[in-house]
Every structure is written in structure tokens, then in C-alpha cells.
Amino acid sequence: MIERIRHAASEAFPGIEMTLTVDGRNIVTVQGECESWNQLVDVGHFLAKQEGVKNVVNEMTVKGLVIPKKDYSQAKADGEAKGVVKETDVVIVGAGVIGCGIARTLAKYDMNVTVVEMSDDVCTGASKANNGNIHPGMAVKPGTLKAKLNIEGNRMYQQWADELNFALDWCGCVAVVTDERLMKGAEMTYKIAVMNGVHEPEVFYSAERALEIEPKLAHRNLDIKGGAFFPSFGQVESYEVVIALAENAADNGVEFMFNTTVADVLREDGQVQGVVTNKGIIKAKHVINCAGIYADEISAMAGDKCYTIHGRKGTLAILDRHSEPEFDRVTMIYDGSHLIQEKKNAESKGGAMCVTTEHQSLLGPSATEVPDKEDNTTTIDDLAYAMGTNLNAATGYKDIIKTFCGVRPADYSEDFVIEMSPITHGFINVGAIQSPGLASAPAIAKMVEEIWLEDVKAAGCEPAVKEDYNPYREARVEFRHMSREEQDQLIAQDPRYGRIICRCEQITEGEILDAINSSVVPTSVDAIKRRTRAGMGRCQGGFCQPKVLEILARELGKEWTEIHLKDAGSRILFEETRQAAKEGGDK
């Protein structure tokens, strides 16, 4: 096998000297030097596609490029010096949609679950910076774990939304073509959807059917030849989903530790023992790795170096809510001059113009391979790609109120890695969860629960379900969506709901206080933004940020200078500038 792969690699990349090895699991490790980062990624993908290869560990370098590496040494030293600070049954590394989904699922059992997160809040990585699509499953490779979990997760989302009270819009996705030659693409997408088991996909061959699906196409006067329709395409605000999962998990006894970086995984005689963090050692019987872009590094700490994450950055642009979305469904028009696809990453779905649950236009994402896993910068080219998905001629760059980026944690197999480690027992890998990870999240949580249950039962234990487990989360007050009568009644009960803090989004002091008093306490301005939308409007916090900061400081018992925008180091205020005036002096 290895000789066949070496021969194929030398023919595909004749100018690169590679050292290739393969282990008993058919995981290929490659070393050597490339000319560019994209070439390094191409080598990884090429090797992963060779027959029999399970995955690729890419240890190649790039000539003239320093590839950023995270240094865990100080965090490890700090944690070891502090010693054991906690003993728990399960440690979950990472508080994105996957980590929080698993935490909420395991919260039903009578045991201790601890989630550790390196940043200050839940949902600060890829789970935050995506377009919120609940993909139906027509854009994933048949036969993959991705395809299986995408379909299952899509069908489970309504239950999540009903139990956790977050907004879910089954808006559907329609692609129309105006050139009969492009119908082959629509038919192929339909066939893949059928193969994967997508719910009620449809291919059609008339303009009349297209207008039945999306009546707002009428004003375009297009010569529509046909297209494809996927009614099980949904839309959520991803941060709402993660916060709902986390709060329900916390309500059911899960503990969250923020600003807590895992620097090593403890193991003994092939069995996981816990993790070393900057805050101390946490002993655990199981460690579940949901660390996103750092999942491969956490896995390596556990002695299981079985895949490499290569960051794929996606840039999105959100438009002012006054720029009315042109269509109600996610709509794509293919007329032969659609140039977006020429620049599309071969492993990406390509992005689209979506409508959020708050009825705002969201454009993108792009898909650019980056060597820095924390590269969240917006480039001109990536923004142009995102804006290239804009189908509405009445809107443009002038309507952008916010651009943001997320780095997808892709591996070279371009599939999910979910398994009990065969190297370190008790360590469960849940890595390489890129799109459609959000859509797949309920099914991923279920799969991990099954892996954990099987292992616990094999050890002779029968996990008990808590009698008081409650899968439901109360709906939050959303003042902006209430009728005038409802608003008046609420204000009469609590005048704080009558004090508007964020004018753009009509967010009240009462809503901010509700967020602060929740089971997962927000401690930064951005954390409040994710829970309430304060700061998400046209001015992006220009007017409300000082008020939010003041409320946070007051309620948390902190000085104004102690309230950050997000993580430590993102200070908003540094020091008092009028100390004498504050103390009643005359200077």
C-alpha cells in the first residue's frame, strides 16, 4: 500500500521530496517541504483520496513560511503547579455547538459533567461565525459519516427548537436555471439528495413550478427552464442554538469552566485519566474532544495523532435590516454567467444569500485555506466572494453593517472524526466537525452518547437517568417582537423592560438583566450581544456599548475597567481619566 501511495504522490507532485509512512489504521503521515500553503493542502487531500487511506497527518512545512503553532507550555506548567482542582466523570473540551450539544445530552445521566472552554463564553469559534444553515443533506458526499449525520441531525432539529425555544425557520432552498444545459447540475444534486435520504427533494422543469415555490421570482422576468427544491433547508441563529444548549445543560447540573485551556491529556496504561489545564488538573473517567480547530492537537496530547486540521476561513457579510431581502427562501439563480463557482473551494458548498431568522440578508461564506488557525481577518478577496453571492441589485457594499470570519476545522478526509480512541481508552474524538456540523449537531450528540453508553456498560455499569432531568428551556423575553399591548403589560410588571438600551435592535435593560441572571453567566460585552442582540444593529454598539458595559459592571460587582469586549486582553476602558472629579476634588 505504501509503495503505491509513494508512486502516486511522486507522479502528482514531482518537485516535492516527501517522506511517507502508514500505520496499522491506514493513517498516512507525510513530511517534506512545499512551495505554498495551498500546495501543502493539496498534498494532504491527494493522499487522503488514495484507496485504503483512512486519514492524513500532515507534518509538511512551507518554504519561507512560519506556520503558527500554539504554545501550551506555560498553561501546562501553571496547571501542574496548581495540582488537582476537580474530579468529574466526563470532561468535554470545547463549548461550541458540538460540545454544548453533547453536554446537554449527557446531562440527563446521574453523573458529573464538566465543559472546559479556552475563551470567555460559549460559541466563540466556528459555531459563532457561520451562516446558520440547517442543510438538508444534498451537498455532502454519499456514504460518508457526514452524510449520515447531516440527514439525521436535520430531522432532529425541530425537537431541539421546540424544547429549547430558539428560532428555526424551515425556509427551504430553491435553485433555478435559465439555461437548459444547466439542468444536468440540478438533476445531479437531486439524485445525490435522494441517495442521501433528504426529505422530499424535488426537481422541476417549468417556470410555473418555480414561481409556486418562490413567488418573488416573478419580478425578475427570468426565462426559467427548471431547477431543484429542497424544503427541509432550515435557518437558525447559531449562537442562539449554542446558548440554549448550554443553559439547558447548566440547568441540569453541567458545570462550565471558561478561560480554561487544555494543555495536556493525562493517561496511564492506555486509559485516560483527565486533563491538565491552566487552572489546574481535572481528573475524569472520560474526555470528549470537541475542540474545533484545535481538536487534532488535543488528540495528539492523548497519544492519538490520527488527523490534521487545516483551517478553512469563511468570510460573511450581514446587511442592514432596512435592506429588505429579495426572496423568502434561500434562492440561487444559475444562468451560465454565475462566476462564483469558478473561485469556489472544491471542498466547500460555495455559500449563498440567506435570510436570517431576524429577516436580514446574510452573504457568504467564502472558503480560503489559511495556515493560521486563528486568522479571522477579512480580506478584500474574501469579502468580494461573499458579496458575489448577492442576487439583489438594490443592495451592495453600502448596506453592510458587519463582516465576520470563522475558521472551519477541516481534516484531509473531509469527513467527521467521531470515535473512541483505539490508543487511549476513554478518550472520545469528535473532530473535524466543519459544515454541515451545525445541521448534524443533534445526531453527533446522539452518536457520542451511544459511544459513551456502550463503553460504560461494557465496564459493568448501568447509567441512571436523573428523575428531575428537564429538557425544556423557557423562552426569553424578546421585547422587539411583542405587540404594543404585550409591551405595556410587561413594562407595568417590571419598568426595566421599558428602558431601551440598544435603539437599533430595541433591546431593553430587562432583557440584558435576564441574560446576566441566566445559568451560564455572560461577563463580556460580546457575550451580552450574543444573548440579546444588543449591539447587532446599524451602529454596531456605537451608542449602546457604554450602557451595556455599565450594566455588566453594576450587576457583576466589577469596575468598568474590568469589563472586556470579549476575552482577556480585549479591554475597552483602561483607567480613570478624571479620578479627582470622581473623588470630589477640584482638579
Q: Residue 364, CB half-sphere, CA atoms under 13 Å: how many?
A: 28
- For 411-511, where are the E strands, in sequence order? 417-420, 427-431, 500-502, 507-508
Phi and psi at 274, nearest 5°, equal: 145, -160
Q: What whole-number distance in Å separates Cα of residue 121 and Cα of residue 522? A: 7
Pairing of strands 271-277, 280-283: antiparallel
How many residues in the chain?
Answer: 587
Grid cell, residue 305, equals 495523532
Q: What whole-number distance in Å separates Cα of residue 584 and Cα of residue 105? A: 55
Q: Which residue has the cell 503558527?
A: 68
CA 363 remoteness from chain centre: 16
How many other CB atoms are there within 10 angstroms of residue 570's CB atom? 12
DSSP helix/strand/coil, 437 = helix
Q: Which residue is catalytic, options 135, 286, 310, 564?
A: 135
Terminal Cα distance for the chain, rounded: 80
Q: What whole-number distance in Å separates Cα of residue 548 and Cα of residue 360? A: 23
Grid cell, residue 184, equals 444536468
Longest CA pairwise span in the chain (Å): 83
511: CB partners within 8 A, 6+ apart:
476, 477, 478, 479, 497, 532, 534
DSSP 287-346: EEE--GGGHHHHHHHTT------EEEEEEEEEE-TTS--S-SSEEEEE-S--GGGGG--T
Distances from the Cα of 545 to the Cαs of 243, 443, 540, 560, in angstroms? 21, 38, 9, 12
Grid cell, residue 455, equals 463503553
Measuring CA to CA, which residue among 290, 291, 288, 294 is closest to residue 309? 294
338 is catalytic: no
21: CB partners within 8 A, 6+ apart:
2, 28, 29
Phi and psi at 255, nearest 5°, equal: -100, 135
Amino acid at 343: K
DSSP helix/strand/coil, 512 = helix
Which residues are marked as active site? 135
